Amino acid sequence: MTGETPSQTVGPFFALGLTAEQYEYPHSSIAGPDLTTPDTEGTRITVTGQVFDGNGEPVTDAMIELWQADAAGRYPGQGSNTGFKSFGRAGTGSDDTASFSFQTIRPGSIGDNHAAHINVALFMRGTLNHLFTRIYFPEDTPDHTRDPVLLAVPPDRRATLIASLEAANVYRFDIHMQGAQETVFFDI
């Protein structure tokens, strides 16, 4: 036999290995859905949503990771916001609605015309590699017209990257794997 063996999907085992505390396994997780500590500076927000498969059904075993700048637009190593973790992880299988929910802060712009955003990695059954997308904020519409990443997305698809404001400091961002509302994913 020569050549590479094709990848296969086994699992997923995200709950056991990567989001143990959320699913009440008896060992700790290295990251959870709360990116803040009592010392974190910035406006606290909640980001919630669901992942939908090609049939429009909620995915009950996906895992979402967030990585973002702090309120001043700094990633870890670029300055001091000692109370902000900058990275979080949550699964979609620990409640009846197959939702994810993160406690974080409103990120600042990282500069160079970039609108404030949160980077997202999605892991789920049926995908051999994780998928990347971004969450932008609806109140930043003027900044969206200058953001180089959003400008690279066809205008009719940009709305799939913009969260909706559901209540004060509560944003909803649903991820659609296929169909008319399919979320834009980035090849990085």
Return the pLDDT at 20: 64
Return the pLDDT at 3: 64
* CATH classification of the domain holding 63: 2.60.130.10
Phi, psi (deg, nearest 5) at residue 45: -135, 160
User: Measured in Å, how far apart are the chain's first and last C-alpha atoms?
Assistant: 31
The alpha carbon dihedral of 114, 117, 121, 124 has a sign of: negative
5 inside domain: no
138 inside domain: yes
* 56-65: pLDDT as tens digits: 999 998 999 9
Range of the domain at 162: 14-176
110 inside domain: yes
Phi, psi (deg, nearest 5) at residue 87: -140, 135
54 inside domain: yes
25 inside domain: yes
* 116-154: pLDDT as tens digits: 999 999 998 877 788 999 999 999 999 999 999 999 999
187 inside domain: no
Instruction: Count structural domains, the chain.
Output: 1
For the whole model, what pTM was predicted?
0.89
118-149 burial by CB neighbour count: b if 16+ within 10 A, else e? bbbebbbeeeeeebbbbbbbeebeebbeebeb
43 inside domain: yes
In tens digits, what is the pLDDT along the chain, a chain of 188 residues?
566 655 555 555 666 667 766 667 777 777 889 999 999 999 999 999 999 999 999 999 899 999 999 999 999 888 777 789 999 999 998 889 999 999 999 999 999 899 999 999 999 887 778 899 999 999 999 999 999 999 999 999 999 999 999 999 999 999 999 999 999 999 98
Number of alpha carbons in the 13 Å side-chain half-sphere of residue 6? 3
28 inside domain: yes
